[in-house]
């Protein structure tokens, strides 16, 4: 075609040709801004791609540690999984944990083969039969010819298949550490030419046609023949799952798993499902993408045979991967990032293929273990449950965060702000736990977005905080809880309107504005808000705090940084806010910020405590933790409102959400969990985080004495002291229980230390009482 468009530098992989293609696409109106921002060097991808324009990134998650039992040793191993499927890496890690706690995954390497199947077509069936019989004593000469063209290929066998007037020759090779598709193609091509010449010379019979591949090798396809005869690596992974681990980690039982296995397997056989597994392809695809494997081979490599049977104390479970097409040399394995991932697995290069196959099988089995257990226990369904309406409204999009919107919001506070020049920045922001959880279940634009606002006289670094709805947060927590215990996820949803998360998307906006209007300067500077109920938009514009402007900032894991004066300043600042809201309690909208009442969610806290006691059964602190059940009864059996003041409390007051500026002033932020409660609640939480010596309670006595005096009370006042005891019990039951249970999925640094301080503080107060 004369008018067929020409792409410049077609096929070339050079810096100049790449630029020509970028310019060409730009002229056509297609942006390559992000695709072109690649870290790859052209030299690294020569002969691996044509007409290169850039790269796309797939996030890589760390899987492991997994206790792997190879042929001659036990070791802890890791892998990288490249995926955009949320929860995949978490599920692989849960399975790896369960397998490791049960003694590890044992793997067996059976064989490695690669096939190529040229086709020879003759004028009639008689000529084909002649060719078939002629081949019988030619194997050694063909083998010698084929192996001339590779230093690594070893021809194992040739199996002819005669179908009418065509003969297919299945060549089987051992290809060392390469997957071998290219290697076997080259060797087989030259062997084929040798066969054609020799056969014609010796028989004078013409071969009508011949091609390098007649589809008999099942290249990048699934076939029974590949499974039976071998293509790629045949490897097996097996594990004896202990009943205790099945119950404590996988949240089900071996009996429940086996009750589902038999009928599920029967249906798979009835449907002629090829093999039997749950989601092996997920693990294969993720590891393939991370390590530079041929992604076209994911299909055939994901054939898996999962087998389960009852063991003496739990389950025996095995996974066979009979057609794993992989390599540790050649192809994409030499690209820097993919090479680095193979090196992390200690599989790169010569001699790495067997180990690589073993580890893939081990991690694929880990995913099977976790996913099967999740399905049986109900966690799989809970993690995917929609929880109410999921119809998207006209949500905020990133392009709307612009000068016009910021001027509109900030102009409500000052005319000067309405004309500021605004520019948003692409900057990596650290979101809190709540925002991160919500991001797994919502496509809304939530989180922190920094921008600069300038005038001719000054420049300010500001931040937009786009808040998720309370129901979005509950969905995120529900999703996380599903991986721990499906019953817990139900309770979180059922109690959603009686926790501190209720109305969290509106509370923080109200408090920032109200503190600003009341003249308080203890939060990041406030520059306005925007609420749009129909579009579910809740925006807060405020000062962007940086480490350079702070003396103490995000120090929840560094209590030693808090000096006595710093602690006193923080407690004084929050106490001033408590006193302010105690005096104007009637002006706090009751429908917006409610009185925290643990009794309305007692069933949720009972479940959290039961999980903690099961998880910590062997820990040194188990006797203290057993008291949590008594604490729950104490905080739900009666009211303390008649004897102690009730005010607005931060309810998440710790060094993660409170800092000291470089000028010595206190700065308190993240008010989304605020509730009405006794003021003691914020005080005990903060002290539990900053106390460094649980054996020395002198610092506790000093700060509690000052706090009591600020309210005109004496520390020896029994009712006031009871307030601290109540607040500690409530903090441990209603907040620390969440942290402790969360540690099943993600390790946090502070819970054990803070709980230890809480018990020490409570002991001191009970002795005073």
Query: Per-residue pLDDT averaged across 384-390, rounded?
Result: 63
In this prediction, residue 11 carries a pLDDT of 78
Burial of 360 (0-12, 13-18, 19+ CB in 10 A): buried
**Is 22 in the active site?**
no
CATH 3.90.1200.10 in the chain, residues?
555-769
**pLDDT for 46:** 82
Rounded Cα distance, 362 and 374, in Å: 19
**Range name among 10-19, 119-128, 555-564 with the lowest pLDDT average:** 10-19
Asked if residue 190 lies in contact with residue 145, where contact means CB atoms within 8 angstroms, the answer is yes
pLDDT higher than threshold 60 for residue 38: yes
Catalytic site residue 670? no
What is the rounded radius of gyration, in angstroms, for the C-alpha atoms of the chain?
33
- How far apart, in whole angstroms, are the C-alpha atoms of residue 52 and residue 55? 8
Helices (H), 348-420: 353-377, 379-384, 403-411
* Annotation marks residue 299 as catalytic: no
Question: Which regions of 259-331 does DSSP assign to beta strands (E)?
Answer: 305-311, 314-324
Handedness of CA 81, 85, 89, 95 (dihedral sign): negative
Statement: residue 638 has pLDDT above 80: no
| CB atoms near residue 294 (< 10 Å) | 18
Residue reference for tokens 């919107």: 405
Torsion of CA 397, 403, 404, 405, to 10 degrees: 50
Question: Is the sign of the CA dihedral 70, 72, 74, 80 positive or negative?
Answer: negative
Is the dihedral angle over the CA atoms 422, 425, 430, 431 positive or is it negative? positive
Matching residue, tokens 């301080």: 757
Residue found by looking up tokens 């808000």 in the block: 529
Q: What is the mean pLDDT of residues 575-594?
A: 90
- Asked if residue 1 has pLDDT above 60, the reply is no
Q: Is 709 helix (H, G, I), strand (E, B) or coil?
A: helix
Angle, helix 602-615 to helix 628-636, in steps of 10 degrees: 170
CA torsion sign, 24 to 25 to 27 to 31? Answer: negative
Helix (H, G, I), strand (E, B) or coil at 589: coil
Give yes or no for residue 607 having a pLDDT over 60.
yes
Q: How confident is the model at residue 386 (pLDDT cuts 50, 70, 90)?
A: low
CATH 3.90.770.10 given to domain 61-112+234-377: yes
Residue position matching structure tokens 């997994």: 66
**Rounded Cα–Cα distance for residues 161 and 137 (Å):** 16
**pLDDT value at residue 496:** 92
- Range(s) for CATH 3.30.70.420 in the chain? 118-211
Distances (CA, A) of 649 to 252, 265, 645, 670, 678: 40, 56, 11, 12, 7
The reported pLDDT for the residue numbered 488 is 92
DSSP letter at 299? H
Q: What was the pLDDT predicted at 575?
A: 97
Stretch among 46-60, 230-244, 425-439 having the lowest mean pLDDT: 425-439
Q: Residues 294, 566, 624, 685: which is the catalytic one?
A: 294
CA–centroid distance for 451 within its chain: 28
Q: What are phi and psi of 58, to 5 degrees?
A: -120, 125
Q: For 263-276, what is each residue's pLDDT tens digit?
A: 999 998 888 888 89
| Total Cβ atoms within 10 A of residue 384 | 12
Which pLDDT belongs to residue 13? 87
Residues shown for the chain: 769
Question: What pLDDT is recorded for position 47?
Answer: 81
Q: Residue 416: pLDDT above 90?
A: no
pLDDT at 426 over 60: yes
pLDDT tier, 585 (very low <50, low <70, confident <90, very high otherwise):
confident
Classify 313 as helix, strand or coil.
Answer: coil
Strands (E), 13-153: 60-69, 74-82, 105-116, 119-121
Q: How confident is the model at residue 418, as a pLDDT?
A: 86
Q: Given 85, 124, 202, 400, which residue is catalytic?
A: 85
User: Rounded distance, CA 290 to CA 292, Å?
Assistant: 6
Residue 242 φ/ψ, nearest 5 degrees: -75, 145
User: Residue 727 CA to chain centroid, in angstroms?
Assistant: 34
Class for domain 118-211, per CATH? alpha beta
Residue 481 pLDDT: 87
Model pLDDT, residue 3: 80
371-380, 532-541, 706-715, range with the lowest pLDDT: 371-380
Dump pLDDT digits (tens) for 429-487: 666 666 666 766 677 888 899 999 999 888 999 999 999 999 988 988 888 888 888 88
Q: How far apart are CA 689 and CA 584, in angstroms?
A: 29
Report the alpha-carbon distance of residue 764 to residue 769 in Å, rounded.
Answer: 9
Measured CA to CA, the distance from residue 235 to residue 769 in angstroms comes to 66
CA gap 73, 107 in Å, rounded:
11
Cα 643 off chain centre by: 47
Mean pLDDT of the chain, nearest integer:
92
Query: Which pLDDT score is estimated for 665?
Result: 97
Q: What is the structure's pLDDT at 589? A: 85
Closest by CA position to 632, among listed 597, 657, 660: 597
Predicted local distance difference test score (pLDDT) of residue 440: 65
Q: Output DSSP code: residue 734.
A: I
Q: How many CB atoms lie within 10 A of CB 689?
A: 22
Of 551, 543, 521, give the one whose Cα is nearest residue 664.
551
Q: Give 603-640 as a 3 state SS string.
A: HHHHHHHHHHHHHCCCCCCHHHHCCHHHHHHHHHCCCC
Helices H, strands E: what count in the chain? 28, 20
Q: Which of 384, 416, 641, 719 is catalytic?
A: 384
- The fourth-level CATH superfamily of domain 555-769 is Aminoglycoside phosphotransferase (APH), C-terminal lobe (3.90.1200.10)
What does the CA dihedral 89, 91, 93, 98 come to, rounded to 10 degrees? -170
Mean pLDDT of 192-205: 95
Distance between CA atoms of residues 148 and 37, nearest Å: 43
Q: Quick one: how far is CA 386 from the chain centroid?
A: 19
**What pLDDT shows up at residue 114?**
94
Cis? peptide before 65, omega within 30° of 0: yes
Query: Could you tell me what percentage of the chain is helix, strand and coil, using 3-state DSSP and rounding each to the nearest 5?
Result: 45, 20, 35
Tokens of 137: 């004593």
pLDDT of 722 strictly over 70: yes
Q: What is the pLDDT of residues 500-528, one digit of tens each?
A: 999 999 999 999 999 999 999 999 999 99
Domain with CATH 3.90.770.10 in the chain: 61-112+234-377
- Nearest residue to 61 via CA among 96, 89, 92, 87: 89
Instruction: Please give the average per-residue pLDDT across 233-239, as a whole number.
Output: 97
The residues, ordered by sequence, that sit 6+ positions from 659 with a Cβ below 8 Å of its Cβ are: 545, 550, 551, 552, 553, 554, 555, 666, 667
3-class SS at 3? coil
531 pLDDT exceeds 80? yes
For residues 297 and 382, the model is more confident at: 297
- pLDDT band with cut points at 50, 70 and 90 for residue 530: very high
In order of 246, 306, 366, 508, 619, the CA distances from 242 in angstroms are 6, 18, 14, 47, 20
Separation between Cα atoms, residue 558 and residue 553, nearest integer Å: 10
Angle at 385 between CA 262 and CA 603, to 5 degrees: 95
CA of residue 680 relative to chain centroid, distance:
37
* 389 phi and psi angles, rounded to 5 deg: -65, 140
């Amino acid at each position: 075609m004369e008018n067929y468009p020409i792409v410049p530098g077609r096929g070339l992989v050079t810096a100049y040709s790449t630029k020509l293609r970028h310019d060409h696409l730009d002229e056509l109106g297609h942006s390559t801004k992000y695709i072109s921002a690649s870290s790859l060097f052209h030299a690294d991808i020569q002969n691996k791609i044509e007409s290169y324009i850039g790269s796309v990134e797939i996030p890589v998650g760390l899987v492991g540690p997994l206790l792997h039992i190879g042929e001659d040793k036990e070791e802890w191993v890791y892998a990288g999984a490249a995926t955009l499927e949320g929860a995949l890496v978490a599920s692989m890690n849960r399975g790896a944990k369960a397998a490791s706690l049960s003694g590890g995954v044992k793997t067996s390497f059976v064989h490695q083969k690669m096939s190529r199947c040229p086709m020879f077509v003759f004028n009639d069936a008689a000529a084909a039969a002649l060719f078939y019989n002629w081949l019988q004593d030619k194997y050694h000469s063909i083998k010698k010819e084929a192996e001339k063209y590779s230093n690594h290929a070893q021809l194992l066998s040739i199996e002819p298949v005669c179908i009418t007037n065509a003969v297919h020759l299945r060549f089987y090779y051992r290809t060392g550490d390469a997957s071998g598709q290219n290697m076997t193609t080259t060797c087989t091509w030259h062997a084929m030419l040798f066969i054609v010449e020799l056969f014609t010379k010796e028989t004078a019979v013409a071969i009508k046609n011949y091609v390098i591949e007649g589809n008999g090798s099942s290249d990048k396809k699934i076939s029974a023949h590949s499974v039976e005869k071998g293509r790629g690596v045949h490897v097996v992974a097996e594990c004896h799952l202990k009943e205790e681990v099945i119950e404590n980690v996988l949240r089900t039982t071996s009996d429940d798993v086996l009750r589902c296995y038999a009928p599920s397997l029967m249906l798979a056989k009835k449907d002629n499902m090829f093999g039997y597994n749950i989601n092996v392809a997920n693990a294969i695809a993720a590891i393939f993408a991370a390590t530079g494997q041929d992604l076209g081979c994911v299909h055939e490599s994901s054939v898996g045979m999962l087998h389960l049977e009852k063991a003496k104390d739990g389950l025996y479970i095995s996974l066979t991967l009979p057609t794993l097409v992989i390599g540790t040399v050649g192809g994409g394995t030499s690209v820097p990032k993919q090479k680095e991932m193979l090196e992390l697995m200690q599989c790169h290069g010569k001699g790495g293929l067997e180990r690589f196959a073993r580890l893939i099988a081990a991690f694929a089995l880990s995913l099977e273990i976790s996913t099967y257990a999740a399905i049986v226990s109900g966690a799989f369904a809970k993690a995917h449950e929609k929880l109410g309406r999921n119809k998207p409204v006209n949500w905020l999009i990133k392009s709307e965060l612009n000068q016009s919107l910021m001027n509109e919001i900030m102009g409500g506070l000052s005319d000067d702000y309405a004309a500021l020049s605004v520019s948003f920045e692409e900057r990596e922001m650290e979101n809190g736990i709540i925002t991160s959880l919500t991001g797994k279940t919502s496509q809304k634009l939530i989180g922190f977005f920094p921008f600069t606002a300038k005038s001719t006289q000054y420049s300010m670094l500001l931040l937009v905080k786009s808040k998720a709805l309370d129901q979005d947060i509950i969905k995120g927590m529900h999703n996380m809880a599903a991986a721990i215990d499906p019953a817990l996820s139900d309770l979180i949803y059922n109690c959603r309107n009686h926790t501190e998360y209720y109305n969290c998307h509106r509370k923080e906006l109200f408090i920032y504005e109200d503190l600003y209007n009341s003249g308080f300067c203890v939060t990041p500077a406030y520059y306005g808000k925007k609420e749009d109920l129909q579009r579910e938009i809740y925006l807060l514009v405020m000062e962007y705090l940086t480490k350079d402007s702070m003396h103490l900032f995000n120090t929840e894991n560094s209590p030693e940084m808090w000096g006595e004066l710093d602690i006193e300043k923080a407690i004084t600042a929050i106490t001033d806010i408590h006193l302010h809201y105690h005096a104007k309690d009637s002006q706090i909208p009751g429908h917006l910020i409610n009185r925290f009442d643990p009794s309305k969610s007692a069933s949720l806290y009972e479940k959290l405590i039961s999980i903690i006691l099961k998880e910590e059964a062997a820990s040194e602190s188990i006797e203290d933790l057993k008291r949590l059940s008594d604490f729950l009864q104490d905080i739900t059996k009666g009211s303390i409102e008649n004897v102690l003041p009730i005010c607005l409390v931060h309810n998440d007051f710790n060094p993660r959400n409170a800092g000291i500026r470089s000028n010595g002033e206190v700065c308190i932020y993240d008010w989304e969990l605020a509730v009405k409660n006794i003021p003691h609640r914020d005080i005990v939480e903060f002290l539990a985080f900053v106390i460094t010596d649980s054996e020395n309670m002198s610092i506790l006595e000093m700060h509690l004495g000052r706090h009591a005096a600020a309210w005109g009370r004496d520390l020896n006042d029994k009712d006031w002291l009871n307030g601290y005891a109540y607040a500690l019990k409530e903090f441990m039951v209603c907040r620390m229980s969440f942290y402790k249970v969360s540690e099943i999925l993600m390790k946090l640094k502070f819970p054990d230390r803070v709980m230890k301080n809480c018990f020490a503080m409570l002991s001191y107060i009970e002795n005073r009482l």
